[in-house]
């Protein structure tokens, strides 16, 4: 274009001027672009993180001591063969309930029946001899008065009578023993309970040389539970119990206090009972005291069987107006357990706390917070001590209801026999809560 225009060719300065204007415009555009970029990169602080807060739930709670225990039969007896002989019959169904006096086994009684008959005959003969000796003694006493016999004859008659009388006593004792042995051939239940399996089959010789155990009977209702109390918990329990019943309370009052028991697959502590025995001293090797409780365990298929592992808790005190917070709100660092709270200015503060037991999914706070504190229950990971947050308030009671609902749902899912994981409402706090 420039080469074809004669005017431009005649004015070479105009071309340079046009090129300068173009460069000036490009520089001006670059300055505008840089200014726009600088304005877009200006730093803007992020908004405060949003957290959920709730004031502690204030409730009266029961203070518990929690232990691990083992169930044991209320009573158990082995049924032996008390006389030797051949086992003739079994009269019970394995695993059934039997009553005291029910016939369980029969040992061949023929030998013992014959022994009874022979002893009865010997007793009859001894009684006849005694009768004759009594008559002889009577005649001797009459004749001695007439002077027809000597004193020696009278003494002999009295001795024969006493000997015959003693022989009758011996034969009566033998007959009693023979009848007892005959009775032992009918093996009966010494108490009511659940009978086990027969340990010896019909046709075997039993009781030869030593007593042969034939079966056993176990009493499931009631049932015992044994648990060990460490020294620290023992002293706490003694202090609380004495404060409740007074120093003048009897030993039975101090020994019989309520207990609650739950199995590993059960929610909470559905079985209740009382303690009925406490060892007289602390074991110096373990530093624990063994305690035994007794619980009702009815039904043909009782819920508790001997030898099961159990969770045991013992209520020792009622505590009024204790603060409870969600377990999720509790944090842990080198200083121990803590809660984060939001003050009136919206600033996060850290409160070191002492934890108590778990109550229906909420944790009791022994020390460290006030009832009016707004505790961060969700969004704890986004909160830091000293920063500002946007707090949304909820009621701690809603978390309690949610925990109970989740617990009920978990119990329903465990209907297939699978064991759930996680803490149960009765789980003991860890060592850091002390």
Which of 403, 396, 395, 398 minimizes the C-alpha distance to 425?
403
Which DSSP string do the residues of 389-425 spell out, in sequence order? -EEEE--HHHHHHHHHHHHHHHHHHGGGSPPP-S--T
Cis peptide before 222 (omega within 30 of 0): yes
> Is the pLDDT at 336 greater than 60, yes or no?
yes
Residues 6 or more apart whose Cβ sits within 8 Å of residue 374: 53, 54, 55, 341, 342, 343, 391, 393
What pLDDT sits at residue 160? 94
Q: What share of the chain is helix, strand, coil (3-state, %, to 5)?
A: 35, 35, 30
Q: Give 50's strand partners.
A: 390
For residue 134, give the nearest of 99, 164, 102, 106 by alpha carbon: 164
Mean pLDDT of 96-120: 96
pLDDT band at 429 (very low <50, low <70, confident <90, very high): very low
The CATH topology of domain 110-183 is: Helix Hairpins (1.10.287)
Model confidence at 18: pLDDT above 80: no
- CATH 1.10.287.470 in the chain, residues? 110-183
d(CA 213, CA 289): 34
Q: Which residues are bridge partners to 70 per DSSP?
A: 226, 309
Strands 375-378 and 50-54: antiparallel
Domain boundaries for CATH 2.40.30.170 within the chain: 57-71+220-433
pTM more than 0.75? no
- pLDDT value at position 348? 94
**Cα separations in angstroms, 364 against 19, 402, 408:** 83, 17, 21
- Other residues' Cβ atoms within 10 Å of the Cβ of residue 242: 13
Among left, alpha and beta (phi > 0; psi -120 to 50; other), residue 307 is left
- Please tell me the predicted confidence (pLDDT) of residue 254: 53
Mention the CATH class of domain 83-108+185-210: mainly beta
Mean pLDDT for the chain?
Answer: 83
Q: Which residue has the higher pLDDT, 226 or 5?
A: 226
Query: What angle separates helix 110-146 from helix 151-184, to the nearest 10 degrees?
Result: 160
The whole-number average pLDDT for the span 48-59 is 93
Say which DSSP state 173 is in.
H
Instruction: Report the pLDDT averaged over residues 313-322.
Output: 88
> DSSP for 354-396?
EEEEEETTEEEEEES--TT--EEEE-GGG--TT-B-EEEE--H
Which CATH superfamily is 57-71+220-433 part of? Efflux pump adaptor protein, beta barrel domain (2.40.30.170)
Maximum CA extent, the chain: 203
The dihedrals phi and psi of 192, each to the nearest 5 degrees, come to -85, 145
CB burial class (10 A; 0-12, 13-18, 19+) of residue 151? exposed
Q: What average pLDDT does range 279-299 have in this prediction?
A: 92
Strand partners, 364: 324
Q: What are phi and psi of 232, to 5 degrees?
A: -65, -50
Q: Give, in degrees to the nearest 5, the angle at Cα 324 between 320 and 330.
A: 145
Q: Give the pLDDT of residue 245.
A: 58
Of 218, 260, 249, whose CA–CA distance to 96 is shortest? 218
H/E stretch holding 107: strand 103-107
Q: Which of 42-51, 109-118, 256-265 has the lowest mean pLDDT?
A: 42-51
pLDDT > 70: percent of the chain? 79
Task: Please say if the pLDDT value at position 147 is more than 80.
Answer: yes
pLDDT of residue 420: 36
pLDDT at site 30: 54
pLDDT of 404 above 80: no
Examine the pLDDT at 102 and tell me if it is beyond 90.
Answer: yes
pLDDT classification of 19: cutoffs 50, 70, 90: low
Q: How far apart are CA 204 and CA 301, in angstroms?
A: 32
What is the rounded distance in angstroms from the CA atom of residue 312 to the CA atom of residue 260? 6
């Amino acid at each position: 274009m420039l080469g074809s225009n004669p005017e431009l060719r005649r004015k070479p300065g105009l071309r340079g001027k046009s090129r300068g204007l173009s460069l000036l415009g490009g520089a001006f555009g670059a300055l505008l672009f840089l200014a726009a970029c600088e304005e877009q990169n200006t730093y803007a602080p992020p908004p405060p993180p949003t957290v959920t807060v709730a004031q502690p739930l204030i409730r009266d709670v029961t203070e518990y001591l929690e232990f691990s225990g083992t169930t044991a039969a209320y009573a158990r007896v082995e049924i032996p063969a008390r006389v030797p002989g051949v086992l003739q019959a079994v009269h019970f169904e394995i695993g059934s309930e039997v009553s005291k006096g029910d016939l369980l086994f029969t040992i061949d009684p023929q030998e013992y029946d014959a022994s009874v008959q022979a002893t009865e005959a010997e007793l009859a003969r001894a009684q006849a001899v005694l009768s004759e000796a009594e008559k002889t003694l009577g005649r001797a006493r009459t004749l001695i008065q007439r002077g027809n016999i000597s004193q020696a004859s009278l003494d002999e008659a009295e001795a024969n009578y006493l000997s015959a009388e003693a022989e009758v006593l011996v034969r009566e004792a033998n007959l009693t023993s023979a009848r007892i042995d005959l009775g032992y051939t009918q093996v009966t239940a010494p108490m009511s309970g659940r009978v086990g399996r027969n340990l010896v089959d019909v046709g075997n010789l039993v009781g030869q040389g030593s007593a042969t155990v034939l079966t056993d009977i176990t009493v499931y209702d009631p049932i015992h539970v044994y648990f060990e109390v460490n020294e620290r918990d023992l002293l706490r329990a003694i202090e609380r119990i004495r404060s409740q019943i007074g120093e003048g309370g009897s030993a039975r009052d101090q020994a019989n206090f309520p207990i609650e028991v739950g199995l590993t697959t059960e929610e909470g502590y559905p079985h209740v009972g009382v303690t009925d025995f406490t060892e007289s001293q602390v074991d110096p090797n373990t530093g624990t005291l063994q305690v035994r409780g007794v619980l009702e365990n009815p039904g043909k298929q009782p819920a508790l069987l001997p030898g099961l592992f159990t969770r045991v808790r013992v209520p020792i005190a009622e505590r009024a107006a204790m603060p409870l917070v969600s377990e999720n709100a509790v944090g842990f660092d080198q200083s121990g357990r803590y809660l984060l709270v939001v003050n009136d200015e919206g600033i996060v503060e850290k409160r070191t706390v002492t934890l108590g037991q778990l109550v229906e999914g909420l944790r009791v706070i022994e020390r460290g917070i006030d009832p009016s504190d707004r505790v961060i229950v969700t969004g704890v990971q986004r909160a830091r001590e000293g920063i500002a947050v946007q707090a949304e308030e909820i009621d701690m009671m809603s978390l309690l209801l949610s925990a109970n609902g989740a617990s009920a749902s978990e119990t329903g899912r465990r209907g297939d026999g699978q064991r759930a994981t996680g803490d149960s409402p009765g789980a003991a706090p860890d060592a850091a809560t002390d």
